[in-house]
Chain A
């Protein structure tokens, strides 16, 4: 099956710093989503980004589907950005759009 690797696995930053999270995937995908999982376990949708670049406030994402990677940028980090960030990809199989999650990046923002 498809492999989804994220780097770095852990990241500790001072409040106000910028960061780049990477997601590499081993096969062509129909879709890619970025999620933030908060300390209570809730997965929050950040971006639906099968290709191209999107921005939402301090966050932006870029997916280069032909090179099989996606990047999530967080600027001017805040303590509320702490948590685990997952990318997840979809390989559509007879209409079954299951998400395959990456290994995650645990981000800790220090005040």
Chain B
């Protein structure tokens, strides 16, 4: 069984640029959630995808958007990057019918300069 994977591991971008982060869910899982973790804080919910549709969103602006593909993998896109977007971005997957237990990937550390 393959766990949750994310790419890239690290990324450095300049303010105003756009970035795409990728996540492959654990085998058999069809729900993907994205979280942002700033330094020294707990993860904050960005949004969740289920069956390729957004299924809930946290308090993040529209420049944070996402996609889920038929194989349940997912992308997080952030436009017009700001310095405060520097954070660890975590993806979590869960299984329909057991959606309460979420399993996390290793994260992508984004630095915006």
Size bracket, chain B contacts: 20 to 34
- Mask: chain B, 3-45; 1 = CB below 8 Å from A; 0 = not: 0000000000000000000000000000101010100011111
Q: Which of A52-111 contact B (CB under 8 A)?
A: 86, 88, 90, 92-104
Which positions in B face A, CB cutoff 8 Å? Answer: 31, 33, 35, 37, 41-45, 48, 50, 55-56, 58, 88, 90, 92, 94, 99-104, 106-107, 109
| 3 residue pairs, one from A and one from B, having the closest CB atoms | A96-B56, A101-B42, A31-B100
> Can you report 23 A-B residue pairs in the complex whose CB atoms are below 8 A from each other?
A31-B101, A33-B101, A33-B102, A35-B104, A41-B90, A41-B107, A43-B90, A43-B92, A48-B101, A88-B43, A90-B100, A95-B56, A95-B99, A97-B48, A97-B102, A98-B33, A99-B33, A99-B35, A100-B45, A101-B42, A101-B44, A103-B42, A104-B42
Which positions in A face B, CB cutoff 8 Å? Answer: 30-31, 33, 35, 40-45, 48, 50, 86, 88, 90, 92-104
Chain A positions within 8 Å of B48 at CB level: 96-98
